[in-house]
Structure 1
Amino acid sequence: MNDLIKGAYDLHVHSGPDMLPRKVDDPELADRFIKAGLKGYLIKSHYNCTAERARVITMFRPECQVFGSITLNNAVGGINPMAVEMAGRGGAKNVWFPTVDAENEQIHFASHPYKAMPYWAIVQQQMKEDGIDVKTINILKDGKLIKEAYEVCEIIAKYNMILSTSHISKEETFALVKAAHEAKVKRIVITHVTFPATFYTIEEQKELLKYGAMMEHCYTTVSTGKVDKEVMMEQMRAIGPENIILGTDLGQKANVYPDEGLSNFADMLHAEGFSDKDIMTMIVKNSNALVE
């Protein structure tokens, strides 16, 4: 395992048990992280708040600090301030705005079908066949941020949680980040900036930096060919390590384990000429700053 990742957190992990099939459950993953010298990870679920689950794992694996989060998809009522309030009281560290239910993701998926249908899309198809109304979520109405989004920002600030933009559109992101900045949210992450449905140009990222946001790059985006490696490396060099957080977005059964992905990411960056200091800034220093 790469020494450059020691002491890091992976703040974008899809571990199990989850409603979707996952490569690894939390007890095994915590053991893997401890063995690799990693501090811990943050659990992301598209459907359920993971705060309580994270507390249980940390209780039984105290050498691994595990954090929970909530994702504002339909399963929790969408942009639901009460759900975020409860998540904050329960110790959740991150609030993800809509992912699979985001209108932007649904539009992109319809026009750019995946080689293999993702599990979340299969779930949505099954629900539609069962007569369940699967609504899409847009946090703008008539071009303005909805009231509930402002309220969520205030709750995030109150509990000093991380705000992650997830799969919403660029228009939604710029409105949200501006509102979060005004609400004094201290931790803002622009989620996987090279992901096809959420691809941000270098110029757009520089504009978002003005609001104190950090740019997230994920290993799975490049390892699965969703973005060319050269494009990701160009963005990283232009934005600078101090403004970037690296995670894996791993947990899918067909991919490597998250700890392996983080190590592979460090190796890739080293081969691309990034210094040890720069790699450790993006993987170790910045992940620690976001959660500690």
Structure 2
Amino acid sequence: MGEAEQSQRNREEVRRLMARVDEAVAARLLRGALDLHVHSGPSTMPRQLDHLEAAEEAAAAGMRAVLFKDHHYSVAPFIPLMDRVLQKPEFSMFSGLVLNNSTGGFDPYVVDAQLKMGAKLIWMPTAQSANHIRSSHRKTRLASNVKLASSPLLTVVDELGNIIDPVKRILDMIAEFDVILSSGHLHVWEIWKLFDEARARGVKRLLINHPMYGLHFTYEDIRDFANLGVIVECSAAMYVDSRFNVYSPQELKEHIEAAGVAASSIGSDLGQVDNPTPVEGMRQAIKLCLALGFSEDDVRTMVTHNPAKLVGLAA
């Protein structure tokens, strides 16, 4: 069976399972939820809504916060402007910096400036990481639909497998500002090295995004990272009724259970054209989790409590 056919079958199963769940229950769980993986625009890639529209939709659904992610710039400096326009003091917006070549790579001076402008999360390289570029060359997972200038392959380790000095300086800054470190699209082997160094330097907030998608994780890796206090985020886009669907509902259950609910979170990873909006993706993920047998408390832990802890919002 080809990937497209499998994805279509997955989506049919998702729709069948979601139909079992009361819309009112899903709406109640969406209230207070946080989405720490919103791909709104402007961006180098087509987006179906801009940052302010994404925030308005989330606030209207009663969500508590969103975090904007763009692979090639930080939205953090614009948050105060959007706060003034939105005028929703009970609703929080965050962003951060992805350490791709397009944003300075492993440049501590860029990171320093962004942290002082309110960046809440520092992602290791994504679209310009060595792991991502090699995957794109093979035209497999992590392939990109946008062509930027050819980019050097970014890795956090030297030829001996040691964390390079600029990354160590950045880790110290992340620890000082007590913000979130995400592994980006690094290979799992690099992530082990990176997180060992980060923990030794006092970084407390650790996040892994879609570990089973293109990062070469095993279930054992997920379990072991979770046991170290790392939050493991499942991207709704890869499980719900989305053109990015690559996993069956059963695989979603397995991926969550590998980390355990207490170490799991769900982010939409949505905002692309011809896909559900981030809010709709979160709603579908909530319904799918309930249909798979997770309790309302389980779901609230994954969409509210764990992401709130990451960004430092009180329960």
TM-score (norm 2): 0.85
Pick closer, same or farther for the CA change 1:114–1:210 going to 2, 3 Å.
closer
Cα distance, 1:272 vs structure 2 = 0.3
Cross-structure match for 1:149: 167
Cross-structure match for 1:106: 133
Cα distance, 1:174 vs structure 2 = 0.3
Alignment of 1:88 with 2:105, yes or no, is no
Structure 2: how far apart are the matches of 1:43 and 1:149? 23
Alignment of 1:123 with 2:147, yes or no, is yes
Structure 1: how far apart are the matches of 2:42 and 2:66? 15
**3-state DSSP of counterpart to 1:100:** coil
Q: Specify which of 154, 157, 169 is matched with residue 137 of structure 1.
A: 154
Number of residue pairs the alignment of both structures matches: 281
Q: Specify which of 188, 200, 203 is matched with residue 170 of structure 1.
A: 188
Cross-structure match for 2:57: 32
Cα distance, 1:210 vs structure 2 = 4.0
TM-score (norm 1): 0.91
Alignment of 1:253 with 2:283, yes or no, is no
Cα distance, 1:95 vs structure 2 = 0.4
Structure 1: how far apart are the matches of 2:105 and 2:293? 42
Alignment of 1:51 with 2:76, yes or no, is yes
Cα distance, 1:114 vs structure 2 = 6.4
Q: Specify which of 198, 211, 223 is matched with residue 228 of structure 2.
A: 211
**Does 234-243 or 144-153 show the bigger shift?**
234-243
RMSD of aligned residue pairs (Cα, Å): 1.7
Structure 2: how far apart are the matches of 1:279 and 1:61? 28
**3-state DSSP of counterpart to 1:250:** coil
Cross-structure match for 2:177: 159
Q: Which amino acid aligns with 1:20?
A: M
1:144-168 deviations in Å (ceiling 9; x for gaps)? 1111111111101111110011100
**3-state DSSP of counterpart to 2:239:** helix
Cross-structure match for 1:130: none
Identity of aligned residues (%): 28
Cross-structure match for 2:286: 266
Structure 2: how far apart are the matches of 1:65 and 1:225? 28
Structure 1: how far apart are the matches of 2:269 and 2:247? 14
Please tell me whether the aligned partners of residues 180 and 207 of structure 2 are also in contact (alpha carbons under 8 angstroms).
yes
**3-state DSSP of counterpart to 2:67:** strand
Q: Which amino acid aligns with 2:258?
A: A
Q: Which amino acid aligns with 1:123?
A: K
Cross-structure match for 2:198: 180
Cα distance, 1:238 vs structure 2 = 3.2
Pick closer, same or farther for the CA change 1:55–1:217 going to 2, 3 Å.
same
Cross-structure match for 2:42: 17
In the TM superposition, 1:211-250 aligns within 5 A as: 211-223=228-240, 224-250=244-270
Cα distance, 1:19 vs structure 2 = 2.9
Structure 2: how far apart are the matches of 1:220 and 1:202? 20
Q: Which amino acid aligns with 1:289?
A: K
Q: Which amino acid aligns with 2:37?
A: H
Cα distance, 1:199 vs structure 2 = 3.9
Structure 2: how far apart are the matches of 1:281 and 1:53? 29
Q: Which amino acid aligns with 1:75?
A: S
